[in-house]
Amino acid sequence: MISNKKAARDPEGDVIHRDLVKSHFPQAKSVRVGKLLRFNVEASDSLEARDLVRRMCDELRIYNPAAHDCQIGMGRLIG
């Protein structure tokens, strides 16, 4: 998941929260928007898979380290 660093404003997330979500679901305290990339890789275990994806993201500059956070998760999405 690639999203703006905390210190960088996220106007899209702010608008989704303020003009859409908040009035229907006041429990939602904030919304941050990101871009999700799903990789299907060959690896012997999950640790190797995670390392491989981390290297791809760093070496190919899939995210901009100056402005973005890049979180790597494993497994299926729930829901």
Q: Which stretch binds other proteins (CB under 8 A): 7-15, 34-42, 46-54, 55-63?
A: 7-15
Residue 35 has phi, psi (to 5 degrees) of -115, 130
What would the DSSP string read from start to end of 1-61?
-EEE-TTS--HHHHHHIIIIIHHH-TT------EE--------SSHHHHHHHHHHHHHHTT
Which residues touch 71 (CB under 8 Å, ≥6 apart)? Answer: 1, 3
Closer by beta carbon to other proteins, 11 or else 26 = 11
Q: Does 15 bind other proteins (CB under 8 A)?
A: yes
Closer by beta carbon to other proteins, 19 or else 45 = 19
In the list 1, 2, 16, 37, the residue contacting other proteins (rule: CB under 8 A) is 16
Closer by beta carbon to other proteins, 24 or else 76 = 24
Note the residues at the interface with other proteins (CB under 8 A).
Answer: 11-12, 15-16, 19-20, 33
